[in-house]
Amino acid sequence: MNTQTATNPAVGDAALSARPEWLDGLWLIVPTLLIVIGMMVVPLVGIVVVSFWTQTGFNIEATWTLDNYRVLFTPEGALYRILIVKSLWMSLTATIAVVLLAYPMAYFMAFRIERAKLIWIILLTVPFWTSYLLRIFAWKVILGFNGVINSGLKAVGLIDKPLEFLLYNPTSVTITLAHAWAAYAVLPIYVSLEKIDRSYLEAATDLGDSKWKRFWRITFPLSLPGTIAAILLVFIPTVGDYITPTLVGGTSGIMIGNSIVTQFGKANNAPLGAALSCIMMLAITLAVCAFLAAIGRKRLKAADL
Amino acid sequence: METIRKHLNLLSLFAVLYLAFLYVPVLLLPLFSFNDNIYVTLPFKGFTLKWYSNLLANSGLQSALWASVKVGVGVAVFSTFLGLLAARAMTRYRLPFRRSLYALIMLPLVIPYMVIGVSTLVILRRGFDMDLSLWTVGASHVLITVPLSMLVLMARMEGFDRSLEEASRDLGDTAWRSFRRVTLPLVMPGIVSSLLLCFITSFDEYLLAFFLAGSEATLPIFIFSSLRFPSKIPDVLALGSLILMVSIVLVVFAEWLRRRGVSGSDSSVI
Amino acid sequence: MDSQDFLSAMKAGRMSRRDILQMLTAAGLTMTMLPVGRAKAAYGEAIYFTWEGYNDPGFHPGYTAKHGAEPEGPVFGDVEEALTKVRSGFQVDVVHPCNLDLQRWREADVLQAIDTSRLSNWGNLFESLKKLAYAQGDKGEQFFIPVDWGNTSILYRPDLFDVKEESWTMLWDERYAGQLSMAADATESVAIAGIVLGVKDPFNLTDEELVKAKELLVKQKPLMRFYWDSNSAVEQALASGELVAATGWNSSVVTLTGQGVNIKYANPKEGIMSYCCGLVMTKDAPHADKAYDLIDAMISPEAGKWLIEAQGYGHSNAKSFDLVEEKVLAERGLPKDPTQFFGQGIFQQPTLNVDKVQKLFEEVKAGA
């Protein structure tokens, strides 16, 4: 850009509008796209194709069939139906728990902390600089049979036999996940809350809005991008998670992720594993789309009001 | 006024409890790292430093730690850079097929890691006859952290006041300069969040790392592989505790420095 | 901006966001530029793919003595994942699976036959271990060199579990509901159910027997605290008293006793289960000569003595049992005469209909 156009904004804009502005944007996103496409296309196409094939022993046969999908609708497929629904349900409850707990914390950081916000951001992630496995050990110590909670309650005399329902059930899975994904929920919500222009809030107060009304009318809608990001960041990966349920979920701690891994391995049925993966991906995509659509409609309604 | 104060206190109370929820479990770990018992169970049996001295002798664990730190830092910086560009493109420009592009970049989050790991391995080895190393692990971690970085940064940049940037352009700044002078400082909390989230994701990722690592193990591979020998677990515990304690000390130290600084002069501190 | 500046700037509160960003970028770039490859000159050594811990120098004293270096050691956490990685083209020389995994490694066609004449210790290995299912090819060529063997039985706390007779049915004892555990391993769990049912071949149940086995496992599920996925988890729970009885391996007896936990290893009336792990060589092994040295070192009597004393597992070399005191063997639940012992117990055999067994166990867990 030469000095002349720089000093004369009108001319500069005219020169720029010669080519569409989005072209500049495209250049910015191209590196990411190249990496994602370069690394994802083969896995993605591969998994879709394999899901229509069959396998005997270690040999995958390239004969097209719909059997891997059909089995899901037969009585033998009951296992997979149960696991898919269970995984989605577990992920959903965990996501709700994580985000509900994270929101007030993010709000606190955005509006109550005046200085040293960087320190708070770091403070939130420090617990996760240790291995996940170690954190699971810690949860077992807290919730376990002779753990902190049970020993504490016993010492106070509230119980005389350890409570066994604390660990190895869906509740302990939710607690552990709420802990493990905390930073992934708090930080996106925080960054979007923090950018809200304070003058909007003051204006609302001047107009006589109550605290809650102000929150629902202004703060919450403006924090939606971060809240949506948090929900997606927690929901999507936890559907396929199978490590947490195995470690703290007890005898029923099996998810669709376990089954997929088994199909690719010992069960010698990669095509079924691929089909299950595709179904899982589809289920996640549908759930996310439904969620985004619902949010979109709400947002429009809010704008009408 | 009275009600506002009450709300304020409730919120602060919640924040304290939430931090306790985050920290109590992990702060138990250092306690157990001094416990003379290879199992992480109550009651405490006695004080020992032997797990820390074992740690000093455990070269496998140390190199696994460095491998993970190298990969984690590299991945965090690279993914955040890409995420920043992508988030800006998504929020600042009216891109054609915006939704499809968004979905495409989010895709790596949906595909099971097992599938990504195995197919990438097959391409690298069978397709390109490439040796596995920490670079291949890092590449796969970039793939799964870019969507994360983009989401966090988009949350920050969406609804951004473009007039600020335009004002800067009007003042004669180039696009890059106006980005650096105006946009970047405003996006800073998002960048820091993205760096940290990408780092902890990579630092703790097992499955992709397993399939794409050569002879050099990352920390999660090392830990999962050690489960076969429970007597090795305390070394891992000592390491985890050490990381935790050092990072907490660093954070406290930084805060202390900042407070000293703030009382001295005006603060442009984050 | 160097560290001195950084500290003083921090002190004075002069750090701007831009300075911090620049520093972060610089630090990140420096980190990524650091050489990522391994600095050790170990590239020429045999590559031994195993669990972390099994690459301890004690396992192969002869190799280190001969080559002055340790074998290169990538590690895995799960042998099935290791097979997937090798099949996908990851190059290693020697892998350490167990006899139950052999069928899959053989059928995946990733192994080469091992010339036993190149192994000086081959003659002293127990004959029965050499001939395990899938250890040898059709023409008698050897694919699997046995190294460490052990048992699967019930670990229990005699102070907490009142036992009348040691039996596999201890895992169905309703008095201890919620305090029992088995491995999250489909073939093993179904085999144990088969043993309790008294079937002919617990590792290959007929369809009829599978139905009964499933009923038995469904009945057992509410009694289980969890299905364990690592012996770290099971030992921890036994040590805390959360579990009173669980399936486990010999090594757990050594570690738990070492921690002062009152633990007993059952010798079930139906028979104790045994398994054997060992070494296989991959088809495209890049360092085949050194691989032979490693294998020979791992089956030497000295390696065996160390394995028995330090790890509590049995060794494949008969001579190593002569080097260990009887008292030490007894403590670890190991026989003086393994040959006779192998004849009595239930040696784990490959399961042919693995997919059915896998699905059955998943259904038990999912309640389907």
CB contact (8 A) between residue B121 and residue C72? no
Picking from C51, C252, C181, the residue whose alpha carbon sits closest to that of residue B224 is C51
Any domain includes A199: yes
CB pairs under 8 A between A and C: 76
CB pairs under 8 A between A and B: 291
- Range list of H helices, chain B: 2-33, 50-57, 59-92, 98-106, 113-122, 134-157, 162-170, 175-178, 184-203, 207-212, 219-226, 233-264
**Other Cβ atoms within 10 Å of B99 Cβ, number:** 10
Range of the domain at C15: 3-33
Give A140's contacts in chain B (Cβ within 8 Å).
Answer: 40
pLDDT of residue C115: 95
Any domain includes C88: yes
Any domain includes C131: yes
Average pLDDT of the residues in A258-266: 86
Backbone angles phi, psi at A33, to 5 degrees: -60, -45
Are residues C60 and C137 located together in one domain of the fold? yes
Are residues C360 and C264 located together in one domain of the fold? yes
Helix H or strand E encompassing C40: none
Picking from A272, A212, A229, A225, the residue whose alpha carbon sits closest to that of residue A70 is A272
Any domain includes A14: no
Picking from C285, C238, C242, the residue whose alpha carbon sits closest to that of residue C111 is C285
SS3 at position C280: strand
For A14, counting Cβ atoms within 10 Å of its Cβ (0-12 exposed, 13-18 middle, 19+ buried), the class is exposed
Helix axes B134-157, B184-203, angle to 10 degrees: 140
**For chain C, what is the domain count?**
3
Give me the amino acid identity at C170.
M
- Residue C50, C-beta contacts closer than 8 angstroms, at least 6 positions apart: C73, C75, C76, C95, C96
ipTM of the prediction:
0.84
**For chain A, what is the domain count?**
1
DSSP-derived letter for residue B205 is -
Bridge partners (DSSP) of residue C282 are: C111
Helix axes C250-258, C231-240, angle to 10 degrees: 40
Bridge partners (DSSP) of residue A54 are: A61
Interface test with B, best of A17, A24, A30, A32 (most B CBs within 10 A): A32
Q: With respect to CATH, is domain B61-224 assigned 1.10.3720.10?
A: yes
Residue C316 · residue C119 · CB < 8 Å: no
Which of B121, B180, B227 is the closest to C77 by Cβ?
A: B227
Give A261's contacts in chain B (Cβ within 8 Å).
Answer: 114
Structure tokens at C25: 């970028």
What is the overall mean pLDDT for chain B? 84
Sign of CA dihedral C44, C49, C55, C60: negative
Which of A115, A225, A232 is the closest to B158 by Cβ?
A: A225
Q: How confident is the model at residue A134 (pLDDT cuts 50, 70, 90)?
A: confident
Render pLDDT for C294-338 as a digit per residue (tens, 0 to 9). 999 999 999 999 999 888 889 999 999 999 988 888 877 788 888
Residue burial B187-224, b: 16+ Cβ < 10 Å; e: rest = bbbbbbbbbbbbbbbbbbbbbbbbbbbbbbbbbbbbbb
Instruction: Establish whether the linkage from the previous residue to B43 is cis, with ω within 30° of 0.
Output: yes
pLDDT of residue A258: 87
Backbone angles phi, psi at A261, to 5 degrees: -60, -40
Are residues C189 and C226 located together in one domain of the fold? yes
> Could you state, in order of their start, the residue ranges of all structural domains in chain B?
61-224, 227-261
Any domain includes C260: yes
pLDDT of residue C21: 52
- CA geometry: angle at C303 spanning C300 and C305, to 5°? 110
Any domain includes C337: no
Render pLDDT for B178-198 as a digit per residue (tens, 0 to 9). 777 777 888 888 899 999 999
What is the overall mean pLDDT for chain C? 86
Average pLDDT of the residues in A140-160: 84
CB contact (8 A) between residue B15 and residue A108? yes
CATH number for A92: 1.10.3720.10
Backbone angles phi, psi at B259, to 5 degrees: -60, -40
The residue whose two tokens read 């290791």 is C82
Render pLDDT for C63-107 as a digit per residue (tens, 0 to 9). 999 998 899 889 998 898 999 999 988 999 999 999 988 998 998
Render pLDDT for B76-133 as a digit per residue (tens, 0 to 9). 999 999 999 999 888 888 888 888 888 889 888 888 888 888 888 888 887 788 889 9
SS3 at position C108: coil
- Lowest-pLDDT choice from A184-188, C159-163, C308-312: C308-312
Find the length of chain C: 368
Residue burial C196-227, b: 16+ Cβ < 10 Å; e: rest = beebeebbbbeeebbebbbebbeebeebbbbb
How far is the alpha carbon of B46 from chain A, nearest alpha carbon, in Å? 17
Torsion angle of alpha carbons A159, A160, A165, A167, nearest 10°? 100
Any domain includes A10: no
Are residues C199 and C167 located together in one domain of the fold? yes
Range of the domain at A263: 78-304
